[in-house]
Amino acid sequence: MRLLLILGCLASPAMAMEYRMEPREIAPGTWLLEGSTDNFDHRNGGNIVNTAFVVTEAGVVVIDTGPSRRYGEAMRQAIGKVTDQPVARVLLTHHHPDHVLGNQAFADIPIAALAETNGLLAEQGDAMAENMYRIVGDWMRGTEVVLANETLEPGIWAFGGHRFRLLALRGHTGADLVILDETTGVLFAGDLLFYRRALTTPNSPGLDIWLDEIDLLQALPWTLLVPGHGPVASDAAPFAEMRDYLGWLDDLLRTSAEQGLLMTEVMHAPIPERFAEVNLSRYELIRTVSHLFPGYEAAQYQRIDPGD
């Protein structure tokens, strides 16, 4: 972690940096901290993510901890202004940096994640944190990777008068936790659900898998949707947008591979007008092509050399 400390010290001095936490109660005892739908930037400190907390009879359940130690500390202060209940548990939806690099602020309590999520965080966490230092600078000062210390299993978790249904899915990272609070009907979909913000694909095992899981999530008995990025919704519009967007991406990559297009050509393909309100579509298309297009090409063309 020496590189992280050096990068933090090299970051340009700036005025006092403070995350403006404004918890919003979206269901009884359920509070949302809504992030921007923009990209990581030194102006937003990486606050592009939705985090949340649920105040239960047995303590507060935190869902994701944000992009930095500073964010996690601000989140914990915001929780203290809402309730006297102690934080009892943190649940991590997946290992991406904007969701887990606030863990330091909760290191004194149980932090729980899927086993595969913790493995990915152990493998990729330092590199992701270093990249965040490069992007947002001093907002990351002092941030270190903290792994989960409890392993979650899918199923029903009854806690503090709430009944949480935990689902282990794969579409976004290969290890994605979805949390349905059956007591309130709030579905915390993590980054399996983006809304009005283009989805990211650096660890996705396949858009076909992701599409199938969108159907699975929509069939759950939810009343309110909390996407990993974007506004909450009480109707199925986020699912419709995700299904449409994923289907378009899958078709674009497949037909481009069939036509023998170069990766750079696919990156500059026209984006349908119906996605005009989906923020960062071009930026994320370029990234998705770099992440996934080689797999589509490999599926289209057979090797003609004998290999090893």
Cβ atoms < 10 Å from Cβ of 9: 9
pLDDT digits over 42-85, tens only?
999 999 999 999 999 999 999 999 999 999 999 999 999 999 99
With a pLDDT cut of 70, the percent of the chain lying above it is 93
Q: Is the pLDDT of residue 12 over 60?
A: no
Domains of the chain (ranges, CATH numbers): 2-235 (3.60.15.10)
Instruction: Tell me which H or E stretch contains 166.
Output: strand 162-169
CB count in 10 Å sphere of residue 24 = 11
Q: How confident is the model at residue 15 (pLDDT cuts 50, 70, 90)?
A: very low
* pLDDT value at residue 258: 96
Among 27, 28, 21, 83, smallest CA distance to 51 is for: 21
- The tokens for 100 are 């887990």
306 pLDDT band, cuts 50/70/90, is low
Q: What is the pLDDT of residues 226-248, one digit of tens each?
A: 999 999 999 999 999 999 999 99
End-to-end Cα separation, the chain, in angstroms: 38
Lowest average pLDDT, out of 11-15, 59-63, 215-219, goes to: 11-15
pLDDT digits (tens, 9 = 90+) for 112-163: 999 999 999 999 999 999 999 999 999 999 999 999 999 999 999 999 999 9
Q: Which of 261, 238, 148, 144 is nearest to 188 (CA)?
A: 238
Tokens 């409890």 correspond to 150
